[in-house]
Amino acid sequence: MNHDDYVNLLKPADLASGGVWADLGAGAGAFTLALREILGPDTEMYAVDADTARLHDLEQEYGERFGDTSKLHLLPADLSARLATPPLDGILMANSLHFFSEKEPLLRAVRTLLKPNGVLLLVEYNVDTGNLWVPYPLSFKSFQALAPRAGYTEPRLLRRHASSFLHEFYSAAANKKASPPPGS
């Protein structure tokens, strides 16, 4: 996949420009860069990843592509830890949720970082059986069942993209529900 593919997976979400966003599991930032392109220069971006070297690669690429890095905040952290972010307009989880076998508790925790009606963008492999590199993928059908239990609205399928690795990717969007899910 290339930069345009990443942008095209996220663009159908029809997001308002600007705001405060986080990319959870940002890695070297392929999707962070795509999201920043879509949201524009007034966007405050928090890139979260446990691998500080990859975050620094992201910072360098971000600077080369957009110039100013003052609105890019690097947070070296594990996604299961409590994250120090301000209330977020949106969260992107691109190819990061499939590393967690217990998805619902993580999505409930992520929900607490969002402002009311905040957006969760998800990019995942559209299968439920993984492998060594993608141990716990989540098909869109499974995400449709999981999201409301974790406190989100019914997810919208945004786009699909072929993958030679595990058939295809999908992108989806769901919003934070006003009331917390049962058991929160």
Q: Model confidence over 144-170: pLDDT tens digits? A: 999 999 999 999 999 988 777 767 889
Q: Is pLDDT at 48 greater than 70 in this prediction?
A: yes
Distance CA 151, CA 9 (A): 23
Q: Minimal CA–CA distance to 29: which of 42, 171, 64?
A: 64
With beta carbons less than 8 A apart as the criterion, state whether 163 and 139 touch. no
Q: Which two three-digit tokens encode residue 6?
A: 């990443």
Position with higher pLDDT, 133 vs 112: 112
With beta carbons less than 8 A apart as the criterion, state whether 88 and 21 touch. yes
SS3 label, residue 173: strand
pLDDT band at 180 (very low <50, low <70, confident <90, very high): low
Which H or E element spans position 34?
Answer: helix 30-39
> 9-13, 45-49, 155-159, 164-168: lowest mean pLDDT where?
164-168
- Across the range 53-71, mean pLDDT stands at 95
SS3 label, residue 168: strand
Which H or E element spans position 45?
Answer: strand 43-49
Is CATH 3.40.50.150 the classification given to domain 3-175?
Answer: yes
Q: Which two three-digit tokens encode residue 21?
A: 């966003």
CB atoms within 10 A of CB 79: 18
Position with higher pLDDT, 18 vs 184: 18
Which pLDDT does position 129 carry in this prediction? 73
Model-level pTM?
A: 0.92
Residue ranges per domain, the chain? 3-175
